């Protein structure tokens, strides 16, 4: 399958029969209660004027006349579901039988490396009382033994090689890393690769072996249910991130492991200090065995890993994100408003079906086409039937004032389909039809002209 890009339509033009058919009904269509056509559950319903699931919710698409927004009652994506909980197929059973002797050797290697690493870590921590300041260099050098052992632990789990794309930015450039969290393998890899300071739950401190090792990483403990603990964690992220003598800080902003097929809402601790951040994406490509730690026991997951010929892992280091000093929280508030509009169940994550139905709902609104045309007209001040980057910047700044020039150029290029440095009316409307939720960024210029919008 070819790689997707942000300009590609959500659905391909494959002529084969689709696996799923989602029907979107007009808000004006009348259906008898209990009729077969009534596919939507009341709790998966968004009313622009009345939203009980989000108190004080301000509909970002209300200026288009958005009222009812519905999603089929069943969800197609569970972000925590492991998709191969059971051993299925003759191939998998035969492979497990063949790999059992290998699994025993791997288990011995795992236990040996864990023991050696644990002893080295205890030596590095022995007598060290000043945990408020960075670990002395000689102790960090002792930790190289544990890091070396962690690579053999990855090897024992079947990660004989790990594919990398990009490279980590220098610590002085990006003091904070954020990554998705799919498996317990993620922190082992980062420990070996970068030896960062991590943010972890207080409960991790009491875990055998693991608690000792993460203490050597100068961990920042947090109790997510305690406001004072969360505030302390943010202060520690800011303190350690701002001091080059500390290792870089690694955070998993989702706060838990998922199956890697969906994104759940982020904790904002990594973004509040305002330091440059490097995002990292971890993937576990597979056919027969899903390596994600979702709704599956640790023992069963380890056994499946030990009985695979090879497990695949890919790590991609993305470009560094540089936040501006002013209006840093404005983009967060804007993103949260759109997120809440789609997150009907108020459960903190969005599945693809919700995103797809929200996009279809917005595009079917009676004023959507007129809004696209009016937004373009507001920007095309010279009446040249095209807009420049500067025109585009002035149009979108009121909605997201803290967007950097680089980010603005990337957004402009999304609309500039033919890459000629300007956006025609056809390009503009075509992009909004592919990405209808983007119409919300033009709301500051459309809301004052709602009367004009309704007359178009």
| 11 part of a folded domain | no
* Predicted pLDDT at 143: 92
Q: Is the pTM of the predicted complex or chain greater than 0.75?
A: no
* Predicted pLDDT at 49: 44
Model confidence at 15: pLDDT above 50: no
SS3 436: helix
Q: What's the rounded mean pLDDT across residues 280-306?
A: 87
Q: Same domain for 406 and 385? A: yes
- Apex 369 CA angle, 365 and 373, nearest 5: 145
- Apex 381 CA angle, 378 and 383, nearest 5: 110
SS3 78: coil
Q: Same domain for 306 and 345? A: no
Lowest-pLDDT range of 114-118, 319-323, 355-359, 447-451: 447-451
Q: What's the rounded mean pLDDT across residues 174-183?
A: 90
Q: What's the rounded mean pLDDT across residues 15-43?
A: 41
Contacts for 134 with CB less than 8 Å, ≥ 6 apart: 218, 243, 245, 246
What is the C-alpha to C-alpha distance for residues 345 and 348, in angstroms, rounded to an integer? 8
Q: What is the pLDDT of residues 180-215, one digit of tens each?
A: 889 889 999 999 999 998 888 877 777 878 888 888
Which backbone phi and psi does 250 adopt, to 5 degrees?
-110, 130
| 15 part of a folded domain | no
| 21 part of a folded domain | no
* Predicted pLDDT at 42: 40
Of 317, 341, 366, at which residue does a domain stop?
317
* Predicted pLDDT at 32: 44
> In 10 A of CB 273, how many CB atoms?
21
Q: What's the rounded mean pLDDT across residues 268-284?
A: 84
Q: Same domain for 410 and 295? A: no
| 213 part of a folded domain | yes
SS3 316: strand
Q: What is the pLDDT of residues 368-389, one digit of tens each?
A: 888 888 888 877 666 778 888 8
What is the C-alpha to C-alpha distance for residues 119 and 161, in angstroms, rounded to an integer? 26
**Bridge partners of residue 315, in order along the sequence:** 164, 282
Model confidence at 322: pLDDT above 60: yes
CA 22 to chain centre: 25
| 14 part of a folded domain | no
Model confidence at 426: pLDDT above 80: yes
**Bridge partners of residue 280, in order along the sequence:** 179, 317
The better pLDDT of the pair 353, 283 is held by 283
Model confidence at 38: pLDDT above 60: no
Are 329 and 397 contacting, i.e. CB atoms less than 8 angstroms apart? no
Model confidence at 43: pLDDT above 50: no
Q: Same domain for 406 and 281? A: no
pLDDT bracket for residue 159 (50, 70, 90): very high
Q: Same domain for 276 and 168? A: yes
The better pLDDT of the pair 233, 36 is held by 233
| 6 part of a folded domain | no
Closest alpha carbon to 197 in 127, 157, 245: 245
pLDDT bracket for residue 16 (50, 70, 90): very low
pLDDT bracket for residue 46 (50, 70, 90): low
pLDDT bracket for residue 76 (50, 70, 90): low
What is the C-alpha to C-alpha distance for residues 244 and 54, in angstroms, rounded to an integer? 41
C-alpha dist (Å) from residue 2 to 5, 12, 168 = 9, 11, 26
Model confidence at 295: pLDDT above 80: no
Q: Same domain for 105 and 233? A: yes
Model confidence at 336: pLDDT above 50: yes
* Predicted pLDDT at 101: 92
* Predicted pLDDT at 456: 57
Q: What's the rounded mean pLDDT across residues 243-253?
A: 89
Lowest-pLDDT range of 97-106, 111-120, 192-201, 326-335: 326-335
* Predicted pLDDT at 406: 79
Number of domains making up the chain: 2
| 373 part of a folded domain | yes
Q: Same domain for 230 and 362? A: no
Model confidence at 401: pLDDT above 80: no
What is the C-alpha to C-alpha distance for residues 340 and 74, in angstroms, rounded to an integer? 19
Contacts for 70 with CB less than 8 Å, ≥ 6 apart: 25, 40, 44, 45, 46, 357, 361
SS3 434: helix
Q: Same domain for 251 and 366? A: no
The better pLDDT of the pair 399, 410 is held by 410
DSSP-assigned states of every residue in 169-230: PPTTT--EEEE---STHHHHHHHHHT--EEEEEGGGGGSTTHHHHHHHTT-EEE-TT-HHHH
How long a stretch of residues is the chain? 456
Closest alpha carbon to 62 in 449, 336, 443: 443
| 209 part of a folded domain | yes
Q: Which domain does 364 fall in, by range?
A: 330-454
Q: Same domain for 98 and 229? A: yes
Q: Same domain for 266 and 367? A: no
What is the C-alpha to C-alpha distance for residues 62 and 51, in angstroms, rounded to an integer? 12
What is the C-alpha to C-alpha distance for residues 75 and 378, in angstroms, rounded to an integer? 39
Model confidence at 450: pLDDT above 80: no
Model confidence at 312: pLDDT above 90: yes
Category of 296 on φ-ψ map: left (φ > 0), alpha (ψ -120 to 50) or beta: beta
Indicate which CATH number applies to the domain containing 343: 1.10.238.10
Lowest-pLDDT range of 37-41, 155-159, 198-202, 278-282: 37-41
Are 105 and 138 contacting, i.e. CB atoms less than 8 angstroms apart? no
* Predicted pLDDT at 33: 41
Mean pLDDT is highest, among 15-24, 125-134, 221-230, 443-452, for: 125-134
Q: Same domain for 115 and 185? A: yes
Q: Same domain for 276 and 415? A: no
- Mean per-residue pLDDT of the chain: 78
**Bridge partners of residue 179, in order along the sequence:** 280
Of 317, 346, 378, at which residue does a domain stop?
317
The better pLDDT of the pair 6, 164 is held by 164
Model confidence at 256: pLDDT above 70: yes
What is the C-alpha to C-alpha distance for residues 48 and 366, in angstroms, rounded to an integer? 15
Are 80 and 295 contacting, i.e. CB atoms less than 8 angstroms apart? yes
Of 282, 317, 352, at which residue does a domain stop?
317
SS3 386: strand
> E-assigned strands of 230-389?
249-251, 263-264, 277-283, 314-317, 349-350, 386-387
């Amino acid at each position: 399958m070819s790689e997707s890009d942000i300009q590609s339509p959500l659905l391909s033009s494959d002529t084969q029969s689709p696996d799923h058919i989602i029907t979107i009904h007009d808000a004006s269509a009348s259906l008898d209660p209990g009729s077969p056509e009534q596919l939507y559950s009341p709790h998966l319903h968004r009313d622009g004027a009345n939203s009980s699931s989000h108190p004080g919710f301000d509909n970002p698409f209300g200026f288009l006349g958005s009222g009812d927004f519905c999603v089929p009652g069943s969800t197609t994506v569970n972000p925590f579901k492991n998709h191969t909980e059971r051993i299925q197929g003759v191939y998998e059973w035969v492979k497990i039988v063949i790999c059992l002797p290998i699994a025993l050797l791997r288990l011995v290697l795992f236990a040996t490396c864990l023991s050696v690493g644990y002893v080295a870590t205890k030596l590095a921590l022995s007598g060290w009382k000043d945990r408020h300041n960075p670990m002395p260099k000689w102790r960090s050098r002792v930790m190289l033994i544990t890091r070396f052992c962690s690579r053999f632990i990855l090897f024992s789990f079947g990660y004989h090689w790990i594919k990398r794309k990009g490279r980590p930015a220098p610590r002085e450039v990006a003091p904070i890393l954020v990554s998705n969290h799919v498996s317990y393998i993620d922190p082992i890899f980062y420990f070996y690769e970068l030896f960062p300071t991590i943010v972890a739950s207080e409960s991790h401190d009491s875990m055998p072996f693991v608690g000792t090792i993460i203490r050597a990483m100068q961990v920042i403990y947090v109790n997510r249910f305690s406001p004072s603990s969360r505030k302390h964690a943010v202060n520690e992220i800011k303190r350690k991130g701002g001091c080059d003598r500390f290792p870089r800080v690694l955070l998993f902003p989702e706060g838990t492991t998922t199956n890697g097929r969906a994104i759940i809402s982020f904790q904002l601790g990594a973004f509040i200090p305002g330091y440059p951040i490097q995002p990292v994406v971890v993937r576990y490509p597979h056919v027969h065995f899903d390596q994600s730690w979702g709704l599956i026991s640790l023992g069963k997951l380890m056994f499946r890993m030990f009985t695979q010929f090879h497990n695949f892992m890919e790590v991609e280091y993305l470009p560094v994100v540089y936040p501006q000093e002013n209006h840093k929280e404005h983009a967060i508030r804007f993103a949260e408003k759109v997120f809440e509009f789609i997150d009907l169940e108020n459960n903190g994550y969005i599945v693809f079906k919700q995103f797809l139905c929200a996009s279809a709902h917005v595009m079917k609104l009676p004023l959507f086409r007129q809004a696209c045309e009016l937004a373009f007209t507001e920007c095309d001040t010279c009446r040249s039937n095209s807009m420049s980057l500067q025109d585009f910047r002035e149009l979108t700044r009121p909605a997201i004032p803290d967007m950097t020039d680089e980010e603005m150029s990337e957004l402009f290029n999304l609309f500039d389909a033919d890459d000629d440095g300007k956006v025609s009316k056809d390009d503009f409307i075509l992009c909004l039809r592919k990405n209808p939720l983007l119409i919300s960024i033009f709301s500051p210029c459309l809301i004052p002209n709602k009367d004009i919008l309704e007359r178009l």
